[in-house]
Amino acid sequence: MSGGSLTHLDETGAARMVDVSEKDVTRREAVATGNVTMRAETLEAILAGQIKKGDVFATARIAGIMAAKRTHDLIPLCHPLPVSSVKVEIEPDRNLPGLTVTATVGVDSKTGVEMEALTAASVACLTIYDMAKAVERGMVVGDIRLLAKSGGRSGDWQAGAAE
């Protein structure tokens, strides 16, 4: 009968927020990055402050910081964390061409802030898209990834090093 097997499937596949209560409270930090690729003219329009919606840099930075604080409200199995620092940096890259976002999040907690850093970078990129989309709808958000994390039982991690 289908009910029985479905229930069994549920038991093995059921989403749950894993228990972190046995982990130690330590200082943890995570750095994530992402970018928005666009036409050279769009980048120049942003850098010249010609975007009609307003200041792209300031708006994207604040959106990223606020998103970091809401990560547990967006990602279903993330733990709520009392983040102690959030920094979102945005740099133009004429080779891309586009903007590169770097988000750094710190916390003293039982679990890490990788998702907070990735969420901050993603939402800052989406905000850049929103600000400039009247100029170019074809912009692409990409390369959102963890650069480094420190603290916690699993120790430090650097992108590119063997896992």
- Classify 51 as helix, strand or coil: coil
Catalytically annotated residue among 55, 108, 130, 156: 130
Distance linking the first and last C-alpha atoms of the chain? 43
Q: How far is the CB of 114 from its own copies (least distance, A)?
A: 7
Is 110 one of the binding residues for its own copies (CB under 8 A)? yes
- Indicate the DSSP class of residue 78: P
Q: How far is the CB of 108 from its own copies (least distance, A)?
A: 6
Binding its own copies (rule: CB under 8 A), the pick from 91, 96, 100, 113 is: 91
Is 58 one of the binding residues for its own copies (CB under 8 A)? yes
User: What whole-number distance in Å separates Cα of residue 144 and Cα of residue 139?
Assistant: 15
Q: Which of residues 114-153 bind its own copies (CB under 8 A)?
A: 114-115, 118-119, 122-123, 125-127, 129-131, 133, 136-146, 149
According to DSSP, the β-strands at 26-37 and 98-109 are antiparallel
Is 101 one of the binding residues for its own copies (CB under 8 A)? no
130 has catalytic annotation: yes
Q: Which of residues 10-39 bind its own copies (CB under 8 A)?
A: 10, 12-21, 27, 34
Q: How far is the CB of 41 from its own copies (least distance, A)?
A: 11
User: What whole-number distance in Å separates Cα of residue 41 and Cα of residue 15?
Assistant: 45
Q: How far is the CB of 39 from its own copies (least distance, A)?
A: 9
Whether 144 and 128 have beta carbons less than 8 Å apart is answered as no
Is 96 one of the binding residues for its own copies (CB under 8 A)? no
CA distances from 160 to 76, 148, 152, 155 (A): 28, 10, 19, 15
160's tokens: 């590119």
- Indicate the DSSP class of residue 137: T
79 in a labelled binding site = yes
Binding residues for substrate: 77-79, 115-116
Q: Which residues are catalytic?
A: 130
